[in-house]
Chain A
């Protein structure tokens, strides 16, 4: 472990530059061009962080509009069409322009080379290209949005999307198609990097779980995304040229689109949640100051999820005319894929046992993740049960379920990661008190927003309705109230994290006393990550030999 560099009293003073900061990647060029042409994985991670944050707030605004609309059972603000366009934009932006790239392209990009002791990713210029492709995709999305939007839902089901919908369907499909290539390049880059650039002594069995999770995620990115690309090309061709592959009047099959779409989009759920699981594994170990319980099982579970996750897409079509035999097989496989997720949850809980537990903001987010992900996962089991799915399919029950996974799970982990690695990325520590308040706000606001939606779903409220029976209003009002708390919880970090950049004290290389190579280098890290050659001599999470957390974190 590299020792913390001692600060002179002047340097330790609030707001002053430290010696590390003066040679960090952040100072390796000050012009805008130095950022837009950088091949440094850390700078590209920050480019991604800025871009996805922008899309998060656009997608979030659409959600806010919807929750406001749903306060009244008769609609207050939006036409039927306006509401359709709002939820389509919310879905497309949040799935492809926030959740998919969220953790991998920011924290994965920043941390994988640091965690394995490398100077950069295997293909630094490809990494920058990936960001530009993402931005081009984003521009198509903004064009579709400004041009008036699309009313197909993020799932683009045919023949609604191919023959009936108005709006910029082709532009939005192009946006998702283009962004897919960004995913593929990033996945490829991670796989090659993890195979070839591990430091001496960094055996596969010593990789942090975060790296294992990203390895599994990358396999899905590379294998599943091309299927989405083909599907979207077919959809655009159907819409523009009427080729008939999804049109029953021309002998096509609209359900074929659903098979192709979910062959990507179900594994995509694991693209969103596996990196989050990786983050939480790091956070739980750092919180408990212990080696993760059942390392091999937690690492193996990521690979199992990535593999079996390719075999469960049919559970989205239990009411769409699938044969009873196919439905039963998909139902069974969906229960199988839950096993490795359960293994992770139980192992995280066991890791906390007899730990030396820090209750700092990142760890509160991690514990929130475990609770919310568990609710999301177990309600997923309900949806995997055939007869139960027939009732709650396409209702708010499903909406609640996948928000528990993607927002309660992935977004909580994203904020956990932001709070954990913020001092590493920026070199400055934020207000822990505000961080704790924010973690509590997000947890409480999230549950108030989405738990009532399970009840709404079981009561029979279909998704994508903005007018509903007045007897359901109480649940919608609770949900909208929760959403406003959630909005505060998401905006608050802007203030205290930004304030930390301006004025807070330097964090030092390892404020949490954590293991992992990224904590052995300076905060923020120098341009080439490490000043000395890296040699790994210990297994991951060797907390017996870890430094103590800083007293003034």
Chain B
């Protein structure tokens, strides 16, 4: 255990990783029970090959009269029975996986940017971290992840979870870590030269400790406030604000709404749509507006775009300003 922080929970088993969540324990149970099945399927093969090789080896006097041909029922039996047994675990594993695709609505959202070769985290209250991520124990946490460059994969072995972080799209991952401690974060998708250095630590803290940490690391602006500043600095307000010279759609109350597009389609203005509209505005143009907006690709990085998205989402409850 050399080199690990002192508050790392001692790992009693050198061949089994620590588990930081109920999900991790559920997955371990699935793995152990499924391993029992595959050992049950494999063991007869191993034992019989060995037994046959000894018992029927050439030169040994033993009864060798056997049926010449295969038997249909035997073939069906060893095709179907293992398959059906496996399906039971298939259902369990698929249900666990499906749970992981649906974060609860009340989850604490933390924005993550992967870039060569670091992890950047932005908390809703505005705290930013590099390679260290502090989260409260017992509460659902949802990571909204973007990549600045190549594909990375955010992996926390103690949670038994990973998700690729793909340029051009937001991917999500959520968890409830219930065991306070420090756990490794790794990049599991090869991302270039310093891939093995792209590691961090997940600090799971009790509610009280987490509250203290938020206090200590408090910053002046929340993530949405930082987004508002970016909004003005990047010149978004010049077109999108009420009374602006250029006529661009109002952004208040937009997040989460269904937006009609040029060409008759509609799209839900989720985080992905908001991001794409900033970086590739020509792709999905709102009906009734000319496609005038320039791309901010190159001038805003994924972290800044995440602040803008947080800002726009903070406006979700406002009533839209009707232009003109």
Contacts and interface: CB of A to CB of B under 8 A. Distances in A.
Contacts of B101: 324
B160 A354 contact: no
B53 A80 contact: no
Interface in B186-239: 186-197
Given A335-B87, A374-B45, A390-B97, A462 B188 contact: yes
Main secondary structure of the interface of A (DSSP, over half): helix
Given A331-B90, A385-B34, A160 B196 contact: no
Contact of A394 (B49, B162, B184): B162
Contacts of B68: 291
Contact of B162 (A339, A384, A391): A391
Interface string B119-139: 000000000000000000000
A378 B38 contact: yes
B245 interface: no
A394 B197 CA distance: 16
Given A371-B49, A375-B42, A387-B97, A342 B79 contact: yes
Contact of B166 (A255, A288, A469): A255
B281 to A, nearest CB: 12
Main secondary structure of the interface of B (DSSP, over half): mixed
B53 A390 contact: no
A341 to B, nearest CB: 11
Contacts of A374: 42, 45-46
B48 to A, nearest CB: 5
Contacts of B195: 80, 84, 464-465
Given A357-B57, A357-B58, A385-B90, A470 B3 contact: yes
Given A254-B151, A459-B17, A470-B3, A353 B52 contact: yes
Contacts, number: 257
Nearest to A354: B66
Contact of A382 (B31, B71, B83, B194): B31
B4 interface: yes
A498 interface: no
A159 interface: yes
B105 interface: no
B56 A254 contact: no
Interface in B96-124: 96-98, 100-101, 116
Interface range on chain B: under 10, 10 to 19, 20 to 34, or 35 or more?
Answer: 35 or more
A551 B167 CA distance: 66
A432 B57 CA distance: 16
B70 interface: yes
Contacts of B249: none
Interface string B144-170: 000001110101011011111011110
Nearest to A288: B56
Given A374-B42, A388-B27, A84 B193 contact: yes
A321 B192 contact: no
Contact of A157 (B3, B79, B90, B151): B151
B56 A357 contact: yes
Given A160-B191, A391-B162, A393-B188, A385 B93 contact: yes
Interface string A314-334: 000011110010011001100
A388 B31 contact: yes
A164 B75 contact: no
A391 B31 CA distance: 11
B147 to A, nearest CB: 9
B30 A387 contact: yes
Contacts of A358: 57-58
A321 B169 contact: yes
B97 A327 contact: yes
A1 interface: no
B153 A458 contact: no
B31 to A, nearest CB: 6
Interface stretch (A56-64, A198-206, A343-351, A438-446): A343-351
A386 interface: yes
Contacts of B89: 385
Nearest to A80: B193
A6 interface: no
B33 to A, nearest CB: 11
A242 interface: no
Contacts of B42: 374-375, 378
B56 to A, nearest CB: 5
Contacts of B69: 291, 293
Given A327-B97, A356-B64, A153 B86 contact: no
A395 interface: yes
Given A358-B58, A387-B97, A335 B83 contact: yes
A367 B53 contact: yes
24 contacts: A80-B193, A80-B194, A84-B193, A160-B150, A252-B168, A254-B166, A296-B70, A321-B163, A321-B169, A324-B97, A324-B98, A328-B94, A335-B83, A335-B90, A347-B70, A355-B52, A375-B42, A386-B97, A387-B27, A387-B160, A455-B15, A458-B15, A460-B186, A464-B190
Given A294-B74, A343-B78, 9 more contacts: A254-B151, A290-B66, A294-B70, A320-B166, A324-B98, A355-B64, A359-B53, A382-B34, A394-B153
Interface of B: 1-4, 11, 14-17, 27, 30-31, 34-35, 38, 41-42, 44-46, 48-49, 52-53, 56-58, 63-66, 68-71, 74-75, 78-79, 82-83, 86-87, 89-90, 92-94, 96-98, 100-101, 116, 149-151, 153, 155, 157-158, 160-164, 166-169, 171, 184, 186-197, 279-280, 283, 297
